[in-house]
Amino acid sequence: MTNHSTHLPHKLSSRSLRILRTTLGVMTLVILTFPFMRAQGNAETGSGLLLVVNQGEATLGIVDPQAAKQIATIAEGGVTGHEVAVSSDGKTAYVPIYGDSSVGEAGTDGRDMVVIDIASRKVVGHVDFGHGVRPHCVVMNPNDGLLYVTTELDKTVTIIDPKTLQVVGVIPTGQEQSHLLVISRDGRFGYTANVSAGTVSVLDIPGRKLVAVIPVSTKVQRISISIDDKSVFTADQAKPQLAVIDTITNKVKTRIPIADPGYGTASTLDGRWLLVCVPDASQVSVVDLKTLRVVRTIAVPKVPHEIVISPDDKTAYVSCIRTKKVAAINLSDWSVKSLIEAGESVDGMAWAARTQ
């Protein structure tokens, strides 16, 4: 007869039980919170990229906002881009190749727009406008998924299907030097700043027609729209003031005095403030949109040109074209939290949302 020995486990002491329970508790907590910690980390480090057009280098720069550093540049292959737009998924950038001069000056007449894959950092396509048109400002309209490009020499805005990279329509502006464009958030109307004409053209986007031409000054620059689509802002170049256009009446309803002639503008996403580049003063003025008065100024590097507000409404990025710098302004206390080294003659900017 074979004897089978049965080995019973030793009884755990109360101290051992406490250690075991603590260990199991910590392991459970790590397992449960790891996915959240990983997602939170992705949100913090992968919220987006700032794209900057380095005019003097004919490159598109990619800036990591968290690191406050330009991490790559992509040669455009043409002379030279001024502005940039990004696809809704954050994967593709579009840069019109304007030419080798500034608006209204003698020089080459661009006829191309380059398409850049942001992940691979390569030019992956082109849009040929067929002849020299000085394409300048490109806007992605999320309402219809089409690109709208100012084509100055034709006095039009040209419509591009980003899927086919083909021209699918044009909208006349009726004015010289339709340099900048903004589209209302509902996608119904577009507004162009017509530099030497000193006017703003109002465009019916779905109808693809000119609605009105609004006299502003002898010369204007840049254009933006309020968050509620009720006001359009453009900078008078003859006097130190901003024109505020009522989008219901399509008339200038008031003017906001500033220290020197302004340039690029942008509203904070909460609709409370309007930030204004003042190039000659090397500052950004902050306008209270309730009172339409300048309430503070912020010193930045020389010749601020354009402003982009981050999607979380915490930071304003200001391109300073004479210093290779982008100033990052903290919107909670109005301090310049960093100066990002970009490229020569950094100008147009756009935000590219990161996707997984």
* Mean pLDDT calculated for residue range 59-70: 98
pLDDT at 114: 98
Share of the chain above pLDDT 90, in %: 86
Q: Does residue 80 have a cis bond before it (omega within 30 degrees)?
A: yes
How far apart are alpha carbons 152 and 133 in whole angstroms? Answer: 6
**pTM listed for this prediction:** 0.87
pLDDT at residue 35 above 80?
no
Tell me how crowded residue 65 is: count the other CB atoms within 10 A of its CB.
18
pLDDT at 28: 39
Neighbours of 117 (CB within 10 A): 14
Task: For residue range 156-193, list pLDDT tens digits in order.
Answer: 999 999 999 999 999 999 999 999 999 999 999 999 99
CA atoms of 259 and 252, how far apart (whole Å): 20
Tell me the pLDDT band of 19, cut-offs 50, 70 and 90.
very low
Segment holding 99, helix H or strand E? none
Pairs from 62-67 (Cβ < 8 Å, separation ≥ 24)? 62/118, 62/121, 63/326, 63/340, 63/342, 65/310, 65/315, 65/317, 65/328
Model pLDDT, residue 199: 98
Q: What is the mean pLDDT of the chain?
A: 90
Q: Dump pLDDT digits (tens) for 81-97.
A: 999 999 999 999 999 99
Cβ–Cβ < 8 Å for 221, 195 = yes
Q: What is the pLDDT of residue 354?
A: 77
Tell me: pLDDT of 115 over 70: yes
pLDDT, tens only, 42-64: 333 347 999 999 999 999 999 99
Quickly list DSSP for 231-247: EEEEEETTTTEEEEEET
* DSSP single-letter state for residue 10: P
**pLDDT value of position 207:** 98
